[in-house]
C-alpha cells in the first residue's frame, strides 16, 4: 500500500505573508498549504522510489495535462539526475494526455480525453504522472484505455491524493502528499485556468471562487 506524506485534517498551512506570492493572487489565497521547497524534496524521493521499481526497462512517462505539467517536469529532472549519477540508467520517453473533468470546483461527471496518442505504449513500462486524485474515477478511465494497448507494466504517481468520502478506494502506486478535502490551487493546479503560475500549493478563499467562476 502506497503512503504519501500525511497532511492531517486539522493542519491549516502557513501564513502566506511569509512566502513570495504573486501580487495578482495575494487577495485570493487563504494560506500556503504546501510550500514549493517541500514539494521539490518530496518529488526527489518519489523519483528514487520509482527508479528502484521501474529502472530495469525503458520507461514511457505519460503526463496528464494540464495540471500535471509542473510535477511532471520536476519529477523527470530528478529521474534524469539519477540516470546521470547512478550505477545504471534507462531511456525515458515522454507522452501526454489531456483530461477534462472539472468546471469551477465541481466534477462535471463527464471525462473527455483530448488528443491522446496511446498506441506507442504496447510492451512498455508506463509511468502515469498525475497532479491530484480525488474520486479516482478519471484515473480508472485512463488506466482502462492504457491497458487496452497492452503495456508491459503500468504505475501511477500522483503528487496529491485527497481524502474524500466520494473516493471508491482507488490509490496510486506512488503518492506525494495525502491531503484533507480542501480545494487547493498552485504548482499548475488551477481554478478555471487561473493559479497555475503560483509556485506553492495554496488554499483558495471562498470569495475567490466567485471572482474566477465560469458562468
Higher pLDDT, 105 or 59: 59
Beta bridge partners of 93: 60
Give the pLDDT confidence of 172-193 residue by residue, as tens digits.
999 999 999 888 999 999 999 9
The confidence score (pLDDT) of residue 103 equals 53
The confidence score (pLDDT) of residue 106 equals 57
Domain extent listing, the chain: 14-211
3-state secondary structure labels for all residues of 143-202:
HHHHHHCCCCEEEEEEEEEECCCCCCCCCCCEEEEEECCCCEEECCECECCECCCCCCEE
**Dist. CA 9–CA 4, nearest whole Å:** 15
Class of domain 14-211: alpha beta
The confidence score (pLDDT) of residue 112 equals 60
**Dist. CA 187–CA 37, nearest whole Å:** 11
- In terms of C-beta density within 10 A (0-12 exposed, 13-18 middle, 19 or more buried), how is residue 30 classed? middle
Give the pLDDT confidence of 125-149 residue by residue, as tens digits.
999 999 999 888 888 888 988 998 8
The confidence score (pLDDT) of residue 22 equals 94
Give the pLDDT confidence of 53-99 residue by residue, as tens digits.
988 888 999 999 888 999 999 999 999 999 998 777 888 999 888 87
Amino acid at each position: 500500500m502506497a503512503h504519501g506524506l500525511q497532511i492531517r485534517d486539522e493542519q491549516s498551512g502557513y501564513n502566506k505573508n511569509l512566502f513570495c506570492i504573486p501580487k495578482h493572487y495575494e487577495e485570493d489565497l487563504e494560506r500556503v498549504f504546501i510550500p514549493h521547497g517541500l514539494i521539490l524534496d518530496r518529488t526527489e524521493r518519489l523519483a528514487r522510489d520509482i527508479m528502484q521499481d521501474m529502472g530495469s526497462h525503458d520507461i514511457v512517462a505519460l503526463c496528464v495535462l494540464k495540471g500535471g505539467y509542473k510535477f511532471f517536469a520536476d519529477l523527470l529532472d530528478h529521474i534524469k539526475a539519477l540516470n546521470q549519477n547512478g550505477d545504471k540508467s534507462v531511456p525515458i520517453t515522454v507522452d501526454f494526455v489531456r483530461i477534462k473533468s472539472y468546471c469551477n470546483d465541481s466534477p462535471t461527471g463527464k471525462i473527455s480525453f483530448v488528443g491522446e496518442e496511446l498506441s506507442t505504449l504496447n510492451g512498455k513500462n508506463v509511468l502515469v504522472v498525475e497532479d491530484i486524485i480525488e474520486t479516482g474515477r478519471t484515473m480508472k478511465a485512463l488506466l482502462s484505455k492504457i491497458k487496452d494497448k497492452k503495456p508491459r507494466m503500468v504505475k501511477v504517481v500522483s503528487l496529491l491524493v485527497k481524502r474524500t468520502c466520494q473516493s471508491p478506494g482507488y490509490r496510486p502506486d506512488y503518492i506525494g502528499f495525502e491531503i484533507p478535502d480542501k480545494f487547493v490551487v498552485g504548482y499548475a493546479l488551477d481554478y478555471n485556468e487561473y493559479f497555475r503560475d503560483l509556485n506553492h500549493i495554496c488554499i483558495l478563499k471562498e470569495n475567490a471562487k466567485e471572482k474566477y467562476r465560469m458562468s
